Amino acid sequence: MKIRCGGVPEHFNYPWHVASEQGFFAAEGIELEWTDYKGGTGVMCQDLRADVIDIATLLTEGAIADIANGNPSVIDAVYVSSPLIWGIHTGAQSNHTDPNAAGPIRYAISRMGSGSHLMALVDRLQRGLKLSEASWEIIQNLDGARASLQKNESDYFLWEKNMTAPYVYNGELRRIGECPTPWPSVVITISKAALQRIGDLSGMYRALQKAVQYIQQLPDPAQTIASAYDLKIEDARDWYARIQWANREALSQKDFNFTTDALVKAGILKEAPEYKKICS
């Protein structure tokens, strides 16, 4: 059975690659076709709608928002139960130093409704800053953000802190704060058409769990991940100490309610959707 999956080229998706390389998917009769999405949650949601991919590992808040806004997909399970730590970045020459400071801020975001957009709003809500003072510069991806910040076309960019670390170390960007997601960070989302075609997903989850166990039994998992994703070993160790891959756990009603409440407060959703319409 062929399953078309997509995710960002970041370390939390490493188990998918391990499961392919070690033959865990093949042993379950699955032909996995993986696509890297540098553009993040927003572009993956577009491709789920367009039937380009069947399954995506999406940021929880982005998945809920897009399904509520008509994406014919469902959240099947939590994939990463630990929070994602978003770094708040500025350009090297920027005068910004305090993410708690009030005033207008131009955010570089991959696209409206993307993780970088939603978490910028969540961060402002958590810091008690006015949402009306935020504006948006659409930059497509991390490379676009780097160029935008360097040219002073935007002020802040929120992205997973370990993936931006190389650009902080080389002096291109400065990290002035962090914003952890206050809910499980990543969910496995599947289009309803694919769910009907594939039916039983238990083989896919068994393969992923085998991959997680394989990684955990490596002599030095952090070193392997650092090499695979061009990270400094200290950043890889920091990340690996925090990562918690879930084992087909449902997104709880409590976490769903907390996330949807933030989305409504941020103005991304007009009203909270029903749990059973978003989660399978």
Same domain, 103 and 228: no
| Measured CA distances, 134 to 40, 49, 107 (Å) | 21, 29, 7
% of the chain residues with pLDDT over 70: 100
Model pLDDT for residues 51-90, shown as the tens digit of each residue: 999 999 999 999 999 999 999 999 999 999 999 899 999 9
Same domain, 235 and 101: no
User: Where is the domain boundary, 180, 210, 233?
Assistant: 180
Same domain, 245 and 131: no
Same domain, 32 and 111: no
**What would the DSSP string read from start to end of 144-190?**
HHHHHHHTTS-SEEEEEHHHHHHHHHTTSEEEEEEEE-SS--EEEEE
User: Where is the domain boundary, 180, 208, 241?
Assistant: 180
Pairwise CA distance, residues 210 & 22, whole Å = 10
Look up the domain containing 129 and give its range.
85-180
Same domain, 77 and 191: yes
User: Where is the domain boundary, 149, 180, 211?
Assistant: 180
Comparing CA positions, the residue from 176, 161, 171 lying closest to residue 105 is: 176
Block residue for tokens 């709608």: 49
Indicate the number of domains in the chain.
2
Specify the CATH number for the domain of residue 115: 3.40.190.10
Pairwise CA distance, residues 260 & 268, whole Å = 9
Same domain, 249 and 125: no
Same domain, 163 and 193: no
Same domain, 96 and 48: no
| pTM as predicted | 0.83
% of the chain residues with pLDDT over 90: 81
Same domain, 176 and 108: yes
Please check the confidence at residue 113 and state whether its pLDDT lies above 80.
Answer: no
